[in-house]
Amino acid sequence: MASEAQNSPFIKNMASSDKKTRDQALTSLRAYLAAQTQISPLDLLKLWKGLFYCLYMQDKPAQQQRLSRDLASLVSTLRPDVVLPFLGAFWTTMAREWGNIDTHRMNKYLYLIRQYVHASFAWVARGGWKEGVVGSHGRVLEEGPLSAGDVKVPDGLRYHVLDVFVDEVERVGVEGVEIESVLAPVEKLAREGRVKSLRKAAEEVLGDERVRRWRGESVDEVGDGSEGDEEEWGGIQD
């Protein structure tokens, strides 16, 4: 049971200052997760609560980043049917615990989130960007960090995922991608976001030059507005 894993010493030991202890704990956790054909939503939330506070207690910057990368690497060890529930539990945990992250700890969670955005797209890419998988992953984002209207999702979480979205898709590579399916959660947020600033942030993602290239648009089709500004000002008149 994942509830047993959450209470197991190897979860706590992942935040150890001793590298050997950390590595042994990570190996144990990977072996545990790799053996599971399914994990209940409640047990996944219990597991993620333990992992969240494991990172919370890690104070050394280099080890924070190492731990974040290690946590993101767990995605690649999971069986296919476990991946999306695992990601969903991650996003639910980030949303629930967001208000408990103080300013001194925020950067390490922002880094963890970036690692998870990358790991999730990398998992979809390894499967060949299959339409069904892309759609299912998109729904996880729509119901989680890119939710258009769920008040339980902090706006700060939404903004950060939008900030890193294009970068991490680009890192994975878009060869063979039906890009409109990948962008669907951002498109929905741009249309239906509960506040104007969120809709605008989503629109800026869609207006990114890389996104426009992926869509086959010319980046020269839309000017930067500088010429229009000059015409409106008109210069200094005699």
Range with top average pLDDT, 54-58, 184-188, 226-230: 184-188
pTM summary value: 0.87
What 3-state class would DSSP assign to 127?
coil
Domain boundaries defined on the chain: 2-215
What 3-state class would DSSP assign to 49?
helix
Query: What are the CA-CA distances from residue 89 to residues 24, 29, 43, 97 (Å)?
Result: 24, 16, 9, 12
Distance CA 111, CA 163 (A): 12
Q: Average pLDDT, stretch 159-180?
A: 95
Reply yes or no on whether the pLDDT at 81 is more than 90.
yes
Closest to 116 in 3D by CA, of 138, 87, 145: 87
The pLDDT tens digits of the residues spanning 114-163 come to: 999 999 999 999 999 999 999 999 999 999 999 999 999 999 999 999 99
